[in-house]
Amino acid sequence: MNIAVLASGRGTNFEAIARAIKKRYVKANLKLLITDKETADVRVRAKKFGIRDIFIDPKQFKSRLEFDKGIVKILRKEKVNLVVLAGFMRVFTPYFVKSFKNKILNIHPTILPAFKGIEGVGRAFKYGCRVTGVTVHFVDEKVDHGPIILQAAVRITEGMSLEELESKVHKLEHKLYPQAVKLFVENKLKVEGRHVKII
């Protein structure tokens, strides 16, 4: 199975998945990284793992749809079976989602449906939540909305700083995301409406 990771930033989740594949915990081929930021740190990580990376400049496209069509064209050419989003800071058009229906995974640093969108950890912390966590889900046409695959909690203890909480959430992400990718690769996920059965 061929996997493509799409990322815009540091790429710690990209690295967690790349390590899982290198160790054969996930038995798949990490075919390529696609990024929309030329200076993204994730590109350095890709080089370290010998993964081909492609920078696609959104400014070269007339619209979000044209940009998405450009990515889909590459993914199809590379025979990609699974698209993994790892901090890819763009919202896809319905065209992209339909092109890879139930074949796009995303990770979000809260227990969805709480605190959708950006800065979820900080907003959960400021809200005074006792518990937050991580969600891995399929991508649909809405932001942070698709069927949930895995969730795990992080307890926010008395006196914990935002930095400590972020560190715990990231650590959990790096454990949970490879698990979800492994389940997909092993054909153990069945989507029924909003529910994902692990078979």
Active-site positions read: 108
Contact 21, 33 (CB under 8 A): no
Residue 101: helix, strand or coil by DSSP?
coil
Q: Helix %, strand %, coil % for the chain, to 5?
A: 35, 25, 40
Using the structure block, give the residue that is written with the tokens 């972020």: 166
Per-residue burial over 6-25, b if 16 or more Cβ lie within 10 Å, else e, is bbbbbbbbbbbbbebbeeee
| Token pair 């995974």: residue | 105
Backbone angles phi, psi at 84, to 5 degrees: -115, 120
Instruction: Kindly state the tokens that stand for 80.
Output: 């990609």
Nearest to 109 by CA among 65, 73, 156, 72: 156
Q: Check if the beta carbon of residue 108 is closer than 8 Å to that of residue 135.
A: yes
**Contact indicator for 104, 83 with CB cutoff of 8 Å:** yes
